[in-house]
Chain A
Amino acid sequence: MQSDLITNLYVFILAAFIGFEVIRRVSPLLHTPLMSLTNALDAIAVVGAIILAGEHRSTLSTVLATIAIVAATSNLVGGFIITDRMLKMFKSSRSQKP
């Protein structure tokens, strides 16, 4: 189960390249929602915290992991809500009534 660092490094490098190529194409119009969306994606760290809290290997780890779940979940929920609220506001002139 102990990680194969090199395999993970491959994953990291490839994901970073994909990230660069995909994100370079994001319109500057949407840079604020982009940041709040990637922030919400970052909250996937909640997955690690859930396992840590659930395994209950020591009191310290369970306490720290529980706080970590709170922090990540608030990012996850808040990040998605605000991103969608922002994107809803972007309308083109064609879709607007004069």
Chain B
Amino acid sequence: MTSVIATHHIIEITYLIAAVLFILSLKWMSSPSTARRGVFAAEAGMLLAVVGTLLYHGIVEYKWIVIALVIGSIIGVPLGEVAMTAVPQRTALSHAFGACCVTLVGTAEFYLRTPNVPRLMMGVLALEVILGSLTFTGSLMAAGKLQEILPQRPITYKGANIVNLSVLAIAVLVAGFLVAHPGNKALFPVIIAVPLLFGVLMIIPIGGADMPTVISLLNSYAGLSAAAMGFVLDSKLLIVAGALDGASGLILSINMSKAMNRSFTNVLFGAFGQEHASAAGAQEARPVHSATAEEAAAILAAANKVVIVPGYGMAVAQAQHKVRELYDALLKRGVDVKFGIHPVAGRMPGHMNVLLAEADIPYDKLLDMDDVNSDFPQTDVALVIGANDVTNPAARTDASSPIFGMPILDVDKARTVMVIKRGMSPGFAGIDNPLYYLDNTLMLFGDAKAFVGAIVRELTGGGHS
């Protein structure tokens, strides 16, 4: 008996140490120089907690645990080894896995405990299962869109919001009924099935450009559902981890919605990508200035200060390694090169930074929007690679534009703007970009990777250097 109590205390202490290590690991994430230590701390905390749990006296059967741990690790390794360009869909997939785990445990707990579930506990359990299942299908849908298994274009229909909200309302009502009657086994599957449907409906109207916000929001939901599971299992460690994950997702969602000039409630209710639809109509054929790789290289070579602005187009074209060659070639000529990164560039928060870091560009050259915007008036060339809406000056000047008020990178204030783009088609949001018609803008038409490669060849003396 005393040994059981002693073991119980040992387990609780491993959990406490794990919680402290988790918080420290996030603290060390504040800077790239300490971040790897943060991962190590988190791993140590996790190992400690898992080993501590295996000591638990109530475990009578280890066979399935060991089998499941082995299978999970076998699946986990390839998920950790994916290419950097696949990180957004991998992240969405892992939100789905986390939510899956939470929902399954919640379901098992319900059937073990019913009908002896206190009302408050039933409420938390319902929250866990509802959040878990909508995050599960929502994240799978998001992963499918990012992997381009599903169409990336937003699919909208009239009254979508009303349909979605009614579906969610059904789930909440049934959950409310279950709180009043926790013994009703037959109704429980409803609060799994209906949120599963809601998760799908929620992501259908969402386009690629809204993915950073959506992924962050799903991250937050996954964390909150895990915290709810912590309440159900009375596990303070799980509550702490879920709260940290929920807070992190929430902060990122708020950042992303600010960077897109959406109110947070607008994001919470899933009203993504709707007001854009009508803007594409009024396009007249206005003249643009275009340039060849040779001309672009000459201008870049003569510059003192260059800011490169990457966007999702760079990721699609896999141009980051060519961009690195351009960076090297310009550096060799004594040009000061920096990168200006918009918070919603790419498909998830920080997407561009990871791709450029993969291409060995030092992180102190990667500046966020607030830092780089004061630099543009002293910049000779702003080179936009595969970014569109985040550079659209209409967001500053044109009150009728759907993106009016969205913070942008002020590339138009640079002496010369060069935009590498496949053609004149409008961006994801379908909004015309007046930047392209400015007198100081040169359009470089072509594939991002090929065009940057051509500029590099010009700069390094036409061929092998």
Which of A's residues lie within 8 Å of B, judged by CB? 1-5, 8, 11-13, 15-16, 18-20, 22-58, 60-62, 64-93, 95-96, 98
Contacts and interface: CB of A to CB of B under 8 A. Distances in A.
Interface stretch (B80-88, B149-157, B415-423): B80-88
A70 B358 CA distance: 30
B25 interface: yes
A12 B97 CA distance: 23
Interface stretch (B227-235, B281-289, B294-302): B227-235
B29 A33 contact: yes
Given A41-B25, A70-B68, 5 more contacts: A36-B94, A45-B102, A68-B100, A72-B97, A82-B79
A28 B368 contact: yes
Given A35-B252, A86-B354, A11 B46 contact: no
Interface in B60-95: 60-62, 64-65, 67-69, 71-73, 75-82, 84, 87, 90-91, 94-95
A82 B235 contact: no
A68 B108 CA distance: 10
Highest count of chain B CB atoms <10 Å: which of A55, A65, A70: A70
A33 B82 CA distance: 14
B235 A48 contact: yes
Contacts of A36: 87, 90-91, 94
A93 B282 CA distance: 46
B234 A3 contact: yes
A38 B244 contact: yes
16 contacts: A11-B240, A26-B29, A30-B29, A35-B219, A35-B248, A41-B42, A45-B229, A53-B65, A61-B112, A64-B107, A66-B64, A71-B101, A77-B76, A86-B84, A90-B353, A92-B362
Interface string B353-368: 1100110101111101
Interface stretch (B48-56, B140-148, B400-408, B434-442): B48-56
A92 B364 contact: yes
Contacts of B29: 23, 26, 30, 33-34, 37
Contacts of A48: 105, 229-230, 233, 235, 238
Contacts of B326: none
B126 interface: no
A92 B363 contact: yes
A53 B238 contact: no
Contacts of A16: 243-244, 246-247
Interface string B13-51: 001001100110111011111011011001100100110
A41 B39 contact: no
Contacts of B53: 47, 50-51
Nearest to B369: A28
Contacts of A43: 46, 98, 101
Given A20-B247, A42-B222, A75 B67 contact: no
Given A49-B105, A92-B364, A73 B90 contact: no
Contact of B101 (A33, A68, A79, A87): A68
Sorted from nearest, which 6 A-B pairs have the closest CB atoms?
A: A73-B72, A81-B80, A77-B76, A54-B59, A19-B247, A31-B350
Contacts of B50: 46-47, 50
Contact of B243 (A12, A75, A83, A95): A12
Highest count of chain A CB atoms <10 Å: which of B32, B80, B222, B236: B80
Contacts of B240: 11-12, 15
Interface in B198-234: 215-216, 219, 222-223, 226-227, 229-231, 233-234
Contacts of B72: 46, 69-74, 76-77
A71 B245 CA distance: 17
A44 B251 contact: no
Contacts of B229: 45, 48
A11 B245 contact: no
Contacts of B42: 37, 40-41, 80
